[in-house]
Amino acid sequence: MSINTHIVEPQEGHQHTHTVIFLHGKGSDCEEFADEFFESEASEPAGCPRTLPDLFPTIRWVFPPAPLSESTRFQCVESQWFDMWSVEHPNVKPELQTDGLKQSIQLVLDVVEQVEALVPSKNIFLGGISQGFATVYSAYTSSNKTYAGLIGLCSWAPTAALDIIKGSQDETSNSTEDKKRLTNVFLRHSRDDDIIPVQEGRILRDTLRDRADTAVEFHEYGDGGHWVNEPEGVDDIAAFLHRIMDECR
């Protein structure tokens, strides 16, 4: 695991039961993202700390850093899981995405393998925002592992790049769906997202619902932009985590 990986351990006095591996977005930083992510609070319990680490004291949060690579369009080096031409039209010029996406898929699977030293994959959630979840989605479709669930915020399915990497998405689904148990997926997107259009989130929803190995809940909000709705969105994430973790007991 990279020495730059940002890790938030379970709260003192609580036994570690689950891990969330969460990927930040393009141009972001893992520690900065984690700090901002954990500033968002749920609506309950009133008068008490209500961030996700407060609500889930047994979870270990792992935030890997994206590699630094050249942006073809903007001719600069930036933090990104893979190069891309347009976030507004994320499947344009997929050939730019393939090399970085392959490397980042392997990075995610390597992090999973390291995290499994502490908990089994069935107790590991994979999550991400924007390009981070696009990478998580790609890693999920490339692996036969069983996960506790997937959590995707403001994202899309990089199907065109995956088609180039490993054949059609249908062939990939057919080759893996009979080897996995059902994976629960939480997706959210806001209609006023001015970075990744909400239509891309709907396509991601439909793509995952077409798989036989995923059960998808999709939350579409009227506002919230390219971020986590507070408190409604945090409430929905918390409800999803509570449900899955209770089922694992």
pLDDT band at 167 (very low <50, low <70, confident <90, very high): low
Strand partners, 78: 69
Express each pLDDT in 64-93 by its tens digit. Answer: 999 999 999 999 999 999 999 999 999 999
pLDDT band at 1 (very low <50, low <70, confident <90, very high): confident
Whole-model pTM?
0.93
Measure the N-to-C terminal CA separation of the chain; round to a whole number of Å: 28
How far is Cα 17 from Cα 10, in angstroms, rounded to an integer? 9
pLDDT given at position 170: 47
pLDDT band at 174 (very low <50, low <70, confident <90, very high): very low
Is 172's pLDDT higher than 50?
no
pLDDT band at 152 (very low <50, low <70, confident <90, very high): very high
- In the chain the domains, ranked by start, together with CATH numbers, are 6-248 (3.40.50.1820)
pLDDT band at 3 (very low <50, low <70, confident <90, very high): confident
How far is Cα 129 from Cα 51, in angstroms, rounded to an integer? 17
pLDDT band at 166 (very low <50, low <70, confident <90, very high): confident
Name the nearest CA neighbour of 120 among 243, 16, 225: 16
pLDDT given at position 127: 98
Q: Considering the chain, what percentage of its residues have pLDDT values greater than 90? A: 88
pLDDT band at 2 (very low <50, low <70, confident <90, very high): confident
Express each pLDDT in 112-137 by its tens digit. Answer: 999 999 999 999 999 999 999 999 99
How far is Cα 146 from Cα 32, in angstroms, rounded to an integer? 29
Strand partners, 20: 61, 125
Is 169's pLDDT higher than 50?
no
Which tokens is 208 given? Answer: 């995952």
pLDDT given at position 179: 53
- Residue 175 Cα distances to 11, 81, 156, angstroms: 40, 25, 22
Is 227's pLDDT higher than 90?
yes
What is the rounded average pLDDT for all residues in the chain?
Answer: 93
